A and B are shown apart, each in its own frame.
Chain A
Amino acid sequence: MSPQVEAGATTLAGDAQPGVVTRAKARLTSLGEMARMTGQVFSRAVRPPFNGSALVYHIESLGVRSMPITLLTAMFAGLVISLQFGYFLARFGVQYTVGRVVVLTLFRELSPVLTALTVGARLGSGMAAELGAMTVTEQVDAIRALGADPLRKLVVPRVLASLVVMPVLTVFADVVGLVSGAVVVKVQYAISFDQFFQGALDSVLMGDFVSGVFKGGVFGLLIGLVGCYKGLTVEGGTEGVGRATTQTVAITSVAVCLADFFITKVTLYL
């Protein structure tokens, strides 16, 4: 079967009650298909014709509209970890180091992961729902029948947009989290902004910042690929679309946590 067919085909019911082996096989097949789709997306992304306007549209649609939830999440994350660290560091009389701890926690871990879990769920499920609806109404088949390539038209701009948007949102989350943290420790523990930010700047390295941004990019890629794959392989009408969106949220959450562990492991030794 061609990858195109795999991406857009609607299959009829197979076994009524699939066993464990059948389900395991189906999962492995899905993984293989997704890996192949990833390769196809990259090969199309680097070969003309490029669809710049679709990319800009999706960056605007995914990025700008995700900004409020990103900033809100980052603000509360900054507030909470600053409160917590301030409280526990005060026990040892070193509460003035709170800026150092907060910046590392935010830059390396909390900003990329929280952004991916909150915004990623929104982006991935949105893609799955949109492409799923197009699949069940035969619009994806129509794209192919009219001589176009659904991967190039639908998947490449979404995946690239997600890849671009997530690191940018991560940087915004870093800044907002840090500023909100500075505010709360000033109010709660009377630590000045100067002291907070000086501590933060002294301890943070460029590698800490880059590793968080890199994580954002990887998470964006995962979110885009899972959302598009689940959308293009929807089966079972509108019920299937609902199933695909919830599965996308679950899969992207697990994938983000898994990827986070391995990227952290690698970047700590770089």
Chain B
Amino acid sequence: MSFVRHHEKRAPGFEFHRPYPGEQLIHFEHLRKAFGAKRVYDDLELDVRAGETLVVLGGSGTGKSVLLRCLIGLQRPDAGRVLFQGADVTAFTEEQFMEVRRHVAMVFQGAALFDSLSVGENVAYPLLEHFPDMPPDEVRQRVAQKLELVSLPGTEHLMPADLSGGMKKRVGLARAIATDPEVILWDEPTTGLDPVTTQSINAMINSMKTKLGCTSIVVTHDLVSAFEVGDRMAMLADRRIVQVGTPDAFRRSTVPEVRAFLDARRAELVADGGTR
């Protein structure tokens, strides 16, 4: 379904152009970040290519989510640059970030749905922000289309409190893709979900790539999901990216931090009796 292009709120200084597949879309360059005495990144380097699903693996508290937050300006690095289509977003003002956020959407770990708004209002929220003059009928139509895409048709009237964890994640995704972003950031998309729901979320991440051609960055420590959705994987350990490669390269990795992570997770799965 196509929609009429409405007047957008545009910030000066950044113009997005549609990338060609495989183009370097995002580059984290010599990134440094600390919270008080806790250093999270020391000279971190990472590339993301257009059209791919990059999985960032790492233990809890290693700063995986901070990477996503630095890209859309929810947090700022202490040093280094984050380049989005060649533009250094670390120097952006809050106003300039608005344009980046129209093209880069984030699905939060806990879905972060607005409690006081219905499902339909949640999904309509970014549309009304970015396209203030969009007619109500078109907003409703687009909300319905996005909810159908995440297999939740007809749920516009429900409140977030009425939804299960998996449904909340899917509404969070519908809200994130409402403005047809080119990049989706997934913060721990399968954490705390049952295996069946996890599978459906994995399928959804894959379908965003095939149906919408989105680039995805998935932050997770769920290995099963990581190998299922990732075109490339990056391992964050010791405040830097210790390996980047294909899932196959990761399976055969001899990098100690990667090996230790994979073996520990495998042992965890065995201890769980292979339920996941």
Q: Which of A2, A11, A147, A149 contacts B76 (CB 8 A)?
A: A2
Beta-carbon contact of B37 and A14 below 8 Å: yes
Return the contact of B112 from the options A13, A14, A138, A147 (Cβ within 8 A). A138
Given A146-B175, A148-B129, A149-B94, verify A12-B36 contact (CB < 8 Å): yes
CA distance A137 to B112 in the complex (A): 6
* Interface membership of A80, Cβ < 8 A: no
Q: List 17 A-B contacts (CB under 8 A).
A: A2-B76, A5-B73, A9-B74, A12-B38, A13-B36, A14-B36, A15-B36, A138-B108, A138-B109, A139-B114, A141-B69, A141-B108, A142-B106, A142-B108, A144-B72, A145-B105, A146-B126
Most chain B CB inside 10 Å of its own CB: which residue of A3, A11, A146: A146
- Indicate whether B253 reaches chain A with its CB closer than 8 angstroms: no
- Which residues of the partner chain A approach B35 to less than 8 Å between Cβ atoms? 11-14
By beta carbon, the residue of chain A nearest B175 is A146
Q: Which residues of A contact B113 (CB under 8 A)?
A: 139, 142
Encoded as 1 (CB less than 8 Å from any A CB) or 0, chain B from 8 to 45 comes to: 01000000000000000000000000011110000000
Residue of A nearest to B94 (CB): A4
Minimum Cβ distance to chain A for residue B133 (Å): 12
Question: Which of B38, B93, B106 contacts A13 (CB under 8 A)?
Answer: B38
Chain A residues with Cβ below 8 Å from B74 are 5, 8-9, 141, 144-145
- Count of residues in B whose CB is under 8 Å from the partner chain: 32
* B-chain residues with CB within 8 Å of residue A15 when the two chains form the complex: 36-37
In the complex, B272 has a CB within 8 A of chain A: no
Closest chain-B Cβ to A107's Cβ sits at a distance in Å of 38
The yes or no answer to A1 lying at the interface (CB within 8 A) is yes
B77-113: CB near A (< 8 Å → 1, else 0) gives: 0000000000000000110001001100110111011
Q: Mark B120-140, 1 if CB is under 8 A from A, else 0.
A: 000001100110100000000
Task: Name the 4 nearest CB pairs between A and B, nearest first.
Answer: A14-B36, A12-B35, A142-B112, A138-B112
Give the docked Cα–Cα distance between A14 and B102 (Å): 33
- Kindly list chain B residues whose C-beta atoms are within 8 Å of the C-beta of A137: 110, 112
Do A1 and B76 touch (CB < 8 A)?
A: yes
A5 pairs with B108, CB closer than 8 A: no
Listed residue (A49, A145, A148, A149) with the most chain B CB atoms within 10 angstroms of its CB: A145
Chain A residues whose C-beta falls within 8 Å of the C-beta of B115 in the assembled complex: 134, 139
Whether B75 sits at the interface, judged by CB under 8 Å, is yes
The CA-CA distance from A4 to B72 in the complex, in Å, is 12
Residue of B nearest to A144 (CB): B74
A191 to chain B minimum Cβ distance, whole angstroms, is 51
Q: Which residue of A lies closest to B104 (CB)?
A: A145
Instruction: Provide the residues of chain B in CB contact with A13, threshold 8 Å.
Output: 35-36, 38
A2-B93, A14-B37, A139-B114 in contact; A9/B75 too (CB < 8 A)?
yes
